[in-house]
Structure 1
């Protein structure tokens, strides 16, 4: 049985970690933000902590594994809600925000399980990627002879007749 202090720590860190990822999305004007990703991470941590309450200390049961599988499958629906097709072009927007929803769920799972080195490492790597990823994409595309905009899919397509 996990004590109150540990439950508060696990759920609080999950909410703050997911909220931090959401803040990055908010600051970039993206369709998913601090509250949404904070809640995604908090809710996944909650179900993991709850599931672990019924296991032997230090054990990860089949039930916990099934809960995590269900959460990760279900989070796809939330992610799909932030992905949109832009106009008549073959351009899709919101994939990074959808990936952030999935990541927030994974961080929530790690927080719920109390695996702090994984939480800290994953958050650090995610913020590096979110902060420098676009610049790295543009630089690599120019250096390797691709388009300047790695998300450019070419000229607009004619609408179907």
Structure 2
């Protein structure tokens, strides 16, 4: 078999394996995207070696420049949390693996793929455990204005072992609104939410 075709097939397999994991988790960059990233990086590397680029580092720089547009497309901000960074870095890593295959480092690329799968599949359980112990959540409370602020809720948050990262209050004609970013365990968030849902003074609540 032609070595270049062999390398392209390996790159296709690497992209398919990583893309299948992303597709399973319903990420914006899934199976086809990862395959195309791996294949294109591999092909660009093969062509540059055949053509004879004087400075090989320029090839990597140009590939990474193109990947910047893909990475920006999968990152978005949701409330106080930024999502898609893991998918963006996975695209970056998939391109690096494709380049390694194109340069002839098959074993290195396969070992790199194994490490990527370990990070994506197994370390997510470690991440979830850490988040259950300490997670940030935004609370919004709207009450009828009764000539006082909502500072009593900040005292309430402390009783549930919550750390107030940021707070703001806003008064309109007959309403007063409060917004807080709280950090605490998932269990304490659950208890606090249950209490707030049963607070008769709260007219609107989001969390």
Say yes or no: TM over 0.5: yes
Q: Which runs of 5+ in 2 are unaligned?
A: 141-166, 171-207
1:32, 1:82 within 8 Å by CA — same for their partners in 2? yes
2:76 aligned residue:
84
Q: Distance in 1 between matches of 2:86 and 2:16?
A: 15
1:114 equivalenced with 2:96 (yes/no)? no
Aligned counterpart for 1:153 among listed residues 133, 136, 156: 136
Structure with higher Rg: it is 2
RMSD between aligned alpha carbons? 2.2
Q: TM-score, normalised by structure 2?
A: 0.63
2:80, 2:138 within 8 Å by CA — same for their partners in 1? no
Aligned counterpart for 2:116 among listed residues 126, 146, 149: 126
Q: Distance in 2 between matches of 1:138 and 1:123?
A: 23
SS at match of 2:77: strand
SS at match of 1:155: strand
Q: Distance in 2 between matches of 1:91 and 1:72?
A: 25
Q: Give aligned pairs, total.
A: 143
Q: Distance in 1 between matches of 2:136 and 2:39?
A: 36
Q: TM-score, normalised by structure 1?
A: 0.80
SS at match of 1:85: strand
Q: Which has the higher strand share?
A: 2
2:8, 2:102 within 8 Å by CA — same for their partners in 1? yes
SS at match of 2:38: helix
Which structure would you say has the larger RCO, counting Cα contacts within 8 Å and 6 or more residues apart?
1
Q: Which has the higher helix share?
A: 1
